[in-house]
Every structure is written in structure tokens, then in C-alpha cells.
Homo-oligomer: A and B are copies of this chain.
Amino acid sequence: MGQTLGQQFKITFAGESHGPGYTVIIEGYPSNRIFDKELIQKELDLRKPGQSEFTTSRNEEDSFEVHSGVFEGKTTGAPITLFIPNKGQQSKDYSKIKDLARPGHADQPLFEKFGIRDYRGGGWSSARMSATWVAAGALAQEFLKEHGVQIISYTQSIGELSQIDLDYEEIKNIEWDHELYTPKGDVCQKMKEIIKQTKDVGDSIGGQCRIVAFGVPKNLGAPFGDSIKSKIAQYFFAGPAITALEFGSGVHAARLKGSEHNDTFLAEGGYQTNHHGGIQAGMTTGEPIDLLVTLKAPSSISKEQMLLNQKTQELESVSIEGRHDPCVVPRYCAVGKALLAMALADSLIARSR
């Protein structure tokens, strides 16, 4: 797939965290639709860092330019090119780690594979690439709205702290904390505390993000290679930091009997339960698609750790000062929505032509 996700709603993306900016070319979006820059900007703002003390204090201003596909405010059917310029990146920050590979980063794998390394931030392999996905995902969500699909995502857990599982009505109606994208309340407060403590000691922390799509039309996908689960998994694991993906009952399914796990039909249509997470035999069932994503703690920490000198092959104990993001889960809520939206749009758009 390379720098591409999707075939019918297809995006191709490129850029580096400290280059001129990020480009995404979007194919397959319907023509003759109003192109709403605000909606894309709104999604980009959800993802962008520097918004609260719980995320990185780097200030990435994620505005964007339209380089093709829109004429007089409407989409023309031509490929849509968006360009997100990099602003406020400070390349000089990175000169001191020019020859040093950081653990958990792409520094060493990229250097070994390509024999050269763009040492400004993660270079090519920066989480900032996901800004292109969020921009394209905003369009995908617009398209899905035409078909009655709504996607909601939230922070399910941070470190040891976990929200109780919300049922679908709660997900639609609960009051969210707008810094952590998690239900307001005690757990949320504790999450904020643990993030602060982690940040204070120059460390970072993992967590989980739940993403639910409501109103998904039936019969998208097929068994085996065209399985909607296969497609969604392909999209999500294209992103950095993800260590586990669960559908419906997820890891808990291991403990269930068939008589418990089989979702019983309702005579009026639909199912009593949704252990299958909205997908059976690779096809959507009309029930909500229900994902749980586990994200590792960000690799960038300022705590002292051993870095590998790529020239000398020796280890050096280094503390990398900087504005690191202590927890990526809240910002990932925007990314996860975008990825699921694009995967669904890729299946649904073929049907709508």
C-alpha cells in the first residue's frame, strides 16, 4: 500500500515533521458537494497538540491549503489535494541528537533500512503524518453523514485507570471532558492527575481509545479478503503506537462459551447483543461497529535513557529536554475516528455510485 490507504475512497499522503509540510491527495470523494473547510479544520484542531496541559505544549498550527479538486466552493470529482504547512517546528532542537537513535522511535530502523536518516524529529516517521488522515477523515465523515453514519470516539483508559464500559445510549449522550475526551467525573480527574504526574517526571503513559460507528449500513464487506475487519485492521495498524486492536467482545471473547457469544437474533431485525462488534463473517450487520485500540506510551520522554550512537555503536545516557506529549490517547480520538471513517467510506462509496 505504501503511502496509500483505500481504493474507492483513496488517500495518498506524504510529508515530514520538519519539512515544508504535509500533502494528502484524496480520490473518490463525491463531486458537486459543498467543500466545508471549517469541518476539516475542526477535526484537525481536535488532533493538534498544544491544546491543554495534558498534551504536548508544542504548538502545531494545523491550517491547510486546497491545491486541487475544489472549484467555486464545490468538489468537482477531481482528486482533492490538501497541503498542511509545517509552522513553528524548530529543527535546531534536534541537532544534538543527530547521530543518536532514540528507543521506541524509527530512528534506528530507518537508518538501517535506508542508510541515511532525517534526524529532525522522527523525519518521515512522525505521528504528525496522522494530520493528513484526520483531514481526509473529516471528508469521509461528511460522506458517511449523508448515509446516516456517526462515529464517536473516547478515551477508555489511561495507564491503570479505566472507564467502565459505556453502553451505546451513554456514548451518544454522556458529557465529555474536552481535554481528555472521556466522560467527566472521578475517573477523568484521576486520569488528569496521573498524566500530570507522569509529565512532571519526564515520562509518558499508554492507554486505550474506543471508537464506535453508529448507523452503519448492512452488508458492507465480504468474507475473507474483503472483510471489513481486515480493512479496518489494515488502516489502524498503519498508524504508529498501536499495540492491540479489538472488535466487539475482543480479548474477552476467549473466556466466553459459544452459547454466550453468539448474538441472538431479534425477530424484528437486528440482534440482542453485539459481541461481534457490528461485523459478522466480514460483513457489517447494521449493529454499531465497536473497536478498542491500545496505544503504547509515547516513545519521546525527557527522562534520562540510553540512546544508541549510530556512528560509534555505543550507548549514551541522555536526557532529551523538550515538549513531549505525555499521553497520546486524547488526541488519538480524532485519528481513530478518521481511520474508521475512511475504512467505511472506502466500502460504502462504491455502492453509492
Contact = CB atoms under 8 A, between A and B. Distances in A.
Nearest to A281: B106
A237 interface: yes
A4 B7 contact: no
A81 B225 contact: no
Copies in the complex: 4
A204 B261 CA distance: 10
Nearest to A18: B71
A207 B254 CA distance: 4
Contacts of A65: 20
B205 A257 contact: yes
B68 A257 contact: no
Interface residues of A, number: 141
A251 to B, nearest CB: 5
A182 interface: no
Interface in A46-97: 65-69, 71, 74-81, 83
Nearest to A77: B114
B109 A285 contact: yes
6 contacts: A2-B28, A3-B225, A23-B23, A112-B218, A112-B219, A207-B254
Given A101-B265, A124-B223, 5 more contacts: A19-B67, A23-B81, A225-B238, A258-B298, A350-B350
A282 B22 CA distance: 20
Contact of A238 (B112, B227, B301): B227
A312 to B, nearest CB: 9
**Nearest 6 Cβ contacts at the A-B interface:** A106-B281, A77-B114, A1-B225, A78-B124, A204-B258, A31-B114
A146 interface: no
Nearest to A8: B350
Interface stretch (A135-143, A165-173, A184-192, A239-247): A239-247
Contacts of A257: 159, 198, 203-206, 297
Given A14-B25, A206-B254, A308-B265, A303 B259 contact: yes
Nearest to A312: B267
Interface in A213-272: 218-219, 222-227, 229-240, 242-251, 253-265, 267, 271
A322 to B, nearest CB: 13
Contacts of A313: 267
Nearest to A27: B2
A159 B76 contact: no
B254 A208 contact: yes
B112 A253 contact: no
A306 interface: yes
Nearest to A122: B281
Contacts of A144: none
